[in-house]
Amino acid sequence: MTTDLTTHHIHYERDRYGIVTLTLDLPGSANVMNTDYRIAMAAAVDRLEAERDGISGVVVTSAKETFFAGGDLDALIAVTPDTAPAFAAELAAIKDQLRRLETLGRPIAAAINGSALGGGLEIALACHHRVCLDDPAVRLGFPEATLGLLPGAGGVTRTVRLLGVQAALPLLTEGRRLRPGQAREAGWVHELAAGHDELLDKARAWVLANPGAVQPWDTPGHQVPDLKPLDPASYALLAAGPAVLRKKTHGCYPAPEKILAAAVEGALLDFDTALRVESGYLLELVTGQVAKNLIGTFWFQLNELKAGRSRPSGHAPYRTRKVGVLGAGMMGAGIAQVSAVAGIDVVLKDVSAEAAERGRARIAEALGERHATALDRITPTGDDADLAGCDLVIEAVFEDRRLKNTVLAAAESAAPPHAVIASNTSTLPITGLADAVPDPDRFIGLHFFSPVARMPLVEIIRGEKTSDATLARAFDYVLQIGKTPIVVNDSRGFYTTRVFGTYITEGAALVAEGVHPALVENVARKAGMAVGPLAVLDEVTLTLPLQAHDQALDQATPGAPYADPAYRLLDTLARELGRTGKAAGAGFYDYPADGGPKTLWPGLTARWTKPDDAGVPEQDIHDRLLFVQALETVRILGQGVLTSVADANIGSVYGIGFAPWTGGTLQFVNAYGPQAFVDRADHLADTYGERFRPPATLRGKAGHGKGF
């Protein structure tokens, strides 16, 4: 065997059978499609072509734990219209290298020894045969769409020709990450291997057995399986595809639509022209604002948070061994479930063992047989004494201060003296709740979101006396259960609940002013919000914002007339008409007893809607719903409740469903342009109220041309 390392980070080894193994080994912990890769691959392909007559085939594999991590996001986020031509030239060079590899005239096999995402899968698809390590940690896929991009190194073009448009589109537009077995079923992978030696053996055996291998698309007469020029059978796909995508994206996300365009247009063209079409659409996306929003927040800022940006330094990592959960209702059961699935023993405590057992039964129903061992970790109880071995106790009872104080005091007395005591409150100040325990430096807020098993965020609230050690342990627990932590300082409603409140009350305000409720809901979804504000109000119950409003103002007479039209409307619906929300079967929507689809209550339009939606333009509705949340975030940051832009952006999207295409509430301000945002907010304030008036901190930033 001959070995030569002169190809700059791609090891070139030829064995006695003439098989060359190219082992990708770029600087850093993972292989990335960057300048180093481009130079190294150019040298490797040049050498393969020069030594072609002495080569029987090629195996491409990796020296890293993963096969290949994808594109260089530092470079991608920096591309501008001015630098786009240079980027296009580099992209063309990368695609040319892969094209030369697959048309070398020798069989090429990929030995995929770890996850192959984005550019890594594109390299593998440029090989004639793909063998993948059958490891449960391995994933294959194209996550580009989730970052506002498309697979631009041949991923769209090759996947469409390999699988057909209909099978390819979900994989390309939804960012699905498949396990090896799933990738084989989909058609990305041909064979699986149980170990690394078998992986390489299978790849080399295939090379020797298939000397005349060519790509399907290089076979004369090849056509995309389900899309042929001038074929009437293809018309249904062409007609339905854009409508289906628009229903999902509401026009907020250009990447899936560009992927569809590249897929369909490319399918009707020759292969090399299709590659150029794919590149053109990637250039449009990479220079656009949405991609920069998504990459900045959901790659750089998210990784920053998970790496411990908000965790106090100087404290050793801590693994929670046993957690006590107070309250076996929806939230408590959810917290117990995710903790047990993460391998933590759980004591689920309620007013009685029977009530706790009912909570455990709900968990069993949710988990099914897949997580039987997790269920075994949950011990239901009605006795505080069973909390004796817990190093973390989380209270998850109703939002009533006296009730919380009672259960917290009892639990703290039973738990070990080193245990961290936490509350899952969504509104009540942590510093006040800490009075229930004798050692407030061990007390902290852990605000989970519903449904707990699905929502990725936990908002950690630091009270005035919470110690760094307590915060570090809480942070580690959130990571241990697979959630994303943000850290905020204490305040009524903290961060997410305050911003969430502005969204739902703005929706109510629009209806109270005379805007048709259907328009409010539809514009909210078109703006990128996951659920309309009126539907959300029904889910949380209309009494919740009324109670929060009463507590905040210490209103002496609940039900007395409210000054704010939004709260007057909620008061009328909930307290006068008994329409308190989904749980009651009636709120903004009607909920049929037979479980049929909900519909907006006709009484809303009869009682409140005005002709021409009270003269409120659709763009104003759109902006009011987004601006009111962004402005509240700016205020919270200025008050020191939020301490980082990353916490704000990730928290707004992961916690309360702020439009993801914006990159979060503060990135929305940045992308809009701080001065333009201030000007627009002033217009909204002049027209609709002072809640839209920008705070002085934002004016100062805008005046200096600075963002967040």
Q: Phi/psi zone of residue 581: left (φ > 0), alpha (ψ -120 to 50 degrees), beta?
A: left
Structure tokens, 60: 């491409």
One-letter amino acid at 72 equals D
DSSP secondary structure code for residue 581 in this structure = B
User: Strand, coil or helix: what is 22?
Assistant: strand
- CA 335, 341, 343, 345 dihedral sign is positive
State mean pLDDT over 384-393. 95
Among residues 53, 32, 42, the alpha carbon closest in space to that of 12 is found at 42
**Per-residue pLDDT at 238:** 75
Measured in Å, how far apart are the chain's first and last C-alpha atoms?
56
- 564 pLDDT band (50/70/90 cuts)? confident
- 230 pLDDT band (50/70/90 cuts)? low
Which residues does 242 contact at the CB level (< 8 Å), separation at least 6?
257, 260
Tell me: the pLDDT tens digits for 97-156? 999 999 999 999 999 999 999 999 999 999 999 999 999 999 999 999 999 999 999 999
Distance separating alpha carbons of residues 265 and 134, to the nearest angstrom = 35
CA-to-CA separations, 126 to 120, 214, 217, 265, 706, in angstroms, rounded: 10, 10, 11, 20, 44
| Cβ-contact 192, 178 below 8 angstroms | no
Cα 508 to the chain's mean position, in Å? Answer: 28
Structure tokens, 489: 């300082």
One-letter amino acid at 516 equals H
**Per-residue pLDDT at 558:** 46
CA-to-CA separations, 73 to 77, 114, 262, 299, 384, in angstroms, rounded: 6, 20, 21, 8, 50
Tell me: the pLDDT tens digits for 167-218? 999 999 999 999 999 999 999 999 999 999 999 999 999 999 999 999 999 9
| Cβ-contact 458, 426 below 8 angstroms | no
| Cβ-contact 171, 141 below 8 angstroms | yes
**Per-residue pLDDT at 6:** 46
Phi, psi of 516 (to 5 degrees): -60, 130
Tell me: the pLDDT tens digits for 414-454? 999 999 999 999 889 999 999 999 999 999 999 999 999 99
**Per-residue pLDDT at 547:** 82
**Per-residue pLDDT at 555:** 43
Structure tokens, 520: 């409010």
**Per-residue pLDDT at 244:** 85
- 560 pLDDT band (50/70/90 cuts)? low
**Per-residue pLDDT at 369:** 78
Residue 698 has pLDDT above 60, yes or no: yes
Q: Which of 11, 447, 516, 549 is catalytic?
A: 447
447 is catalytic: yes
What pTM value is reported for the model? 0.92
Residue 316 has pLDDT above 50, yes or no: yes
One-letter amino acid at 188 equals W
Tell me: the pLDDT tens digits for 610-648? 999 999 999 999 999 999 999 999 999 999 999 999 999
State mean pLDDT over 17-43. 95
Which residues does 514 contact at the CB level (< 8 Å), separation at least 6?
608, 609, 610, 613, 614, 616
| Cβ-contact 470, 443 below 8 angstroms | yes
